[in-house]
Structure 1
Amino acid sequence: MFSLIQLQADTIANAATGAVVENIAPNTEISVLQFIFKGGFFLIPIAILLFYTFYLVIERYLYIQKASKIDSLMMRDVRDNLNSGKLDRALSIVERNNTSSGNVIKEGILLIGRPISEIESNMDRAADIEIGEMEKHLGQLGLIAGIAPTLGFIGTISGVIKIFYSISVTENISIGNISGGLYEKMISSGSGLIVGIIAYSAYHLLNGKIDNFALKIQKQILEFVNIIQKS
C-alpha cells in the first residue's frame, strides 16, 4: 500500500515538473541589429538620412571651425604695418592667414584711400559672403530634422494598416498578434525621431558657431576702421 502511494506521488511530481517546463517561455532574445531590421522598409531612407546627416555635420563643422578662426595677432600685425604705411606687408599678412576674417580685412586694406563709409560697407558685404559660405548646406539639416520623423511616422502608420488588414482577413485578434506587429512598426517612428533630433541639434549648434563668428568679425571691422581713421 505504501509503495502504491509513493508511486502516485512520484507520478504527480513528474507531471507538475513537466507542466512547469512546458510553461517556460522560449528564449526570445534578439540582437540590436535584428531588432532594428524589424522596423520595415521605411528604415532604409531613414538610415540614408542618418549617414548623410553625419556627413554634413562633420563636413560643415570642419569648414566652420577653420574659416571662423579669429587670430588676434593678425590684427596686431596689420595695425603695426598700417601705422608704418606698409600696405603690401599688411596685405600679405591677411592673405597668409587664409581665414574668413582675413578675407574681410583684406577687402578693407584693398580699399584704403576710399571714404570710410565705403570701406566699412564693402567689409560688411565681404563678411556676409563668408557667413553665407559657412551656412551652405545647413538648410539641409533643418530639412532632415523635419523629414526623418515624418518618414518614421509614415512607416508606423503603414505597419498598423497591414496589421488591421491581416486581422480582417484571418479574424485573429489576439493580443500577441497585434502587439507583436505594432512594436516592430514603432521602431520606424523611434528611428526617425532619433535622426531628427541629431539633425536638429547639429543645425542649431553649427548656427551658434556662425553667430559667434558674426559677432567677432563685426568687432574686427570696427577695430580696422578705427585703425585707418587714426593712421
Structure 2
Amino acid sequence: MVEIVMAGGWLMLPIILCSILAIAIVIERFWTLSNNRIAPRYAVGQVWTWIKNGELDSNKMRELRMGSPLGQILAAGLLHARQGRQAMNDAIEQSAAAVIHELERYLSTLGTIAAITPLLGLLGTVVGMIRVFTEIMIQGTGNANALAGGISEALITTAAGLTVAIPAYACHRYFVRKVDSLVLSLEQESAKLVEALHGDRRVDIKDFVTLPETSAARENAQQQAAASVEATGS
C-alpha cells in the first residue's frame, strides 16, 4: 500500500487528506442525524401531557429545549403560544431555520470532496503523462522503467481520486435525503402541537398520551397551556 501511494506522486497527499476528512464527516453525520436524536416521537406527547397536567414550567421548558432539536422548535413555539396561532407558527419557523442549518452542517464540505477528488486524480494523470513524455524526449522509448513510473503515477492518482469521490458522493446524496426526511418530521411534529393548541377540531395524534374528548376539554387545555407559558415567561 505504501508503495502504491509513493508511486502516485505528491498529489496522493491531498487525495488522502480528503479521504480522511470525508470519513470523519460520514461518521459524525451518521451519529448526529439519527431520528431519535433529532425528532423523538415521544416529544409532542410529553409536552401535551405537561400542558394537560399543568406541569409546564421553566424547568420543563429548559428540559424540552435541551433534549433535542425538535424540543428546541417546540419550546420556541410554546413561548409564543398565547399570542395566537400565527405568532406560534412564525416562532417555530424561525427556530426551525436554525435547526435545519445545523442539520446541513458539513454536507457542503462532503459534496466538495466528492467533486474535487476526481479533479485531483485527473491532475495527477496529466502530471504523470507529462513525466512520460519528458522521459521520452530525454531518453527515447528505450527506458521502460522510466516510462512505467510516469504511467503508474497517472493511473494511480486517477484511481485514488475516484475511490474517494464515489463513496463520498453516495454518502452526500444519502445525507441530503436524510435531512429532507428529518425536516419533514420536524414540520409534522410541530404542526401537531400547533393544531392541538389552536385547532378547531380534534387532532388524531397517536403520540399524545391522552387527547381532549370535547371542545370544552380542549379549551381548558389551551387555557392551561397559555397559563403555563405565561408563567414560564415571567
The reply to whether TM is greater than 0.5 is: yes
Structure 1 residue corresponding to 2:65, chosen from 81, 91, 95: 95
Alpha-carbon offset, residue 53 of structure 1: 1.1
On the 8 A contact 1:77/1:90 being kept in 2, the answer is no
Give the aligned residue type for 1:111: H
Query: Aligned partners of 1:212, 1:219: CA distance in 2, in Å?
Result: 11
2:228 aligns with: none
Percent pairwise identity: 24
Alignment of 1:51-90 (within 5 A): 51-65=20-34, 68-88=37-57
Question: Are positions 1:140 and 2:109 aligned together?
Answer: yes
Calculate the TM-score normalised by the size of structure 1. Answer: 0.77
Query: Aligned partners of 1:69, 1:134: CA distance in 2, in Å?
Result: 9
Q: Specify whether residues 136 and 92 from structure 1 end up closer, same or farther in structure 2 by C-alpha distance, changes over 3 A only.
A: closer
Gaps of 5+ in 2: 199-217, 223-234
Structure showing greater radius of gyration is 1
The size of the alignment, in residue pairs, is 199
Query: Aligned partners of 1:68, 1:122: CA distance in 2, in Å?
Result: 22
- Runs of 4+ with >4 A deviation: 173-177
Gaps of 5+ in 1: 1-31
2:9 aligns with: 40
Alignment of 1:202-213 (within 5 A): 202-213=171-182
On the 8 A contact 1:144/1:199 being kept in 2, the answer is yes
Q: Specify whether residues 167 and 92 from structure 1 end up closer, same or farther in structure 2 by C-alpha distance, changes over 3 A only.
A: closer
Q: Specify whether residues 148 and 67 from structure 1 end up closer, same or farther in structure 2 by C-alpha distance, changes over 3 A only.
A: farther
Query: Aligned partners of 1:115, 1:222: CA distance in 2, in Å?
Result: 14
Alignment of 1:113-152 (within 5 A): 113-152=82-121
Q: RMSD value over aligned CA atoms?
A: 2.2
Give the aligned residue type for 1:140: T
On the 8 A contact 1:64/1:210 being kept in 2, the answer is yes
Q: Which has the higher contact order (CA 8 A, sep 6+)?
A: 2
Give the aligned residue type for 1:71: P
Alpha-carbon offset, residue 94 of structure 1: 1.6
